[in-house]
């Protein structure tokens, strides 16, 4: 499975989901495939610089048979801060508005909420560009984990230094997502697992997560639905609330 998905990701082609061929295909199986892909990625000379959280909308957990989110690694060539971003090589990309966190001190599994708030050095608006190597975005949750967590790119906005109180207040930040000049969705920090700090609490309880090191970057989950994105479009994320995250403007050239 890992070899097949590695080829699909490199060539930008579709494959049949593992769960359609292997039953059961569990979360553990998905993480095992993801680990193989991760090992190949590191062997190619790329470096892990953070983690992403997925399936952070608890409203759909019952429908999907879930009781937790999942995580996947992000790399030095997929986390970017430019404002003009190519979609070349991505399959069926979609855009997700998120809140991104950067950590100044380390965190261990099982730490308390106050420790998390104190460890967060900065916050930023972000766009995760997710992709899917399964036809029509039709897959089981474990398939998404196997497909490198569906991660394609993470575009990080301006870093805003935050205090422990600011970190807690990220849950009540309101966002407005615009395609060109049209508002397509609104959301708030709490939409992803109750807020960014809550999301880190979840992350540090998930299997395989050994903690966070100083300098780690975590994107904490989408604040709205995901929308198809294509070349020639411009997107803006506007934030309002007690933490001045500002705006994030991104253009995808044709």
pLDDT tens profile 184-204:
999 999 999 999 999 999 999
Q: How confident is the model at residue 242 (pLDDT cuts 50, 70, 90)?
A: very high
Report the pLDDT value the prediction gives residue 60, as an integer from 0 to 100: 86
Q: How confident is the model at residue 64 (pLDDT cuts 50, 70, 90)?
A: confident
Mean pLDDT value across residues 206-220: 97
What CATH number corresponds to the domain at position 68? 3.90.850.10
Are the CB atoms for 34 and 5 separated by under 8 Å?
A: no
- Percent of the chain at pLDDT > 90 equals 96
Is pLDDT of 63 > 90?
A: no
Chain segment 83-134, per-residue pLDDT in tens: 999 999 999 999 999 999 999 999 999 898 999 999 999 999 999 999 999 9
Report the pLDDT value the prediction gives residue 31, as an integer from 0 to 100: 97
Mean pLDDT value across residues 9-26: 94
The domain containing residue 47 runs over which residues? 2-251
110: exposed, middle or buried (C-beta count within 10 Å: 0-12, 13-18, 19+)?
Answer: exposed
Considering its fold, how many domains does the chain have in total?
Answer: 1
Report the pLDDT value the prediction gives residue 179, as an integer from 0 to 100: 98
Report the pLDDT value the prediction gives residue 23, as an integer from 0 to 100: 87
Give this prediction's pTM.
Answer: 0.97
């Amino acid at each position: 499975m890992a070899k097949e998905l590695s080829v699909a990701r490199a060539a930008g082609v579709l494959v049949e989901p593992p769960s359609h061929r292997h039953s059961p295909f569990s979360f553990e199986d998905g993480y095992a495939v993801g680990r193989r892909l991760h090992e190949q990625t590191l062997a190619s000379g790329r470096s892990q610089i953070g983690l992403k959280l997925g399936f952070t909308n608890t409203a759909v957990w019952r429908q999907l048979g879930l009781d937790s989110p999942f995580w996947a690694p992000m790399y030095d060539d997929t986390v970017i801060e430019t404002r003009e971003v190519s979609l070349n090589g991505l399959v069926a990309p979609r855009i997700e508005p998120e809140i991104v966190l950067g950590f100044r001190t380390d965190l261990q599994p099982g730490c308390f909420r106050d420790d998390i708030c104190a460890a967060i050095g900065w916050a930023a608006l972000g766009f995760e560009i997710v992709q899917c190597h399964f036809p029509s975005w039709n897959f089981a949750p474990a398939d998404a984990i196997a497909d490198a967590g569906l991660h394609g790119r993470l575009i990080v906005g301006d870093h805003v230094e935050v205090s422990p109180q600011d970190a807690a207040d990220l849950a009540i930040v309101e966002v407005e997502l615009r395609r060109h000049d049209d508002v397509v969705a609104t959301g708030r920090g709490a939409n992803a697992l109750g807020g960014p700090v809550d999301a880190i609490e979840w992350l540090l309880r998930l299997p395989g997560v050994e903690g966070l090191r100083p300098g780690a970057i975590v994107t904490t989950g989408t604040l709205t639905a995901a929308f198809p994105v294509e070349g020639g479009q411009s997107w803006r994320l506007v934030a309002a609330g007690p933490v001045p995250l500002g705006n994030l403007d991104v253009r995808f050239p044709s």
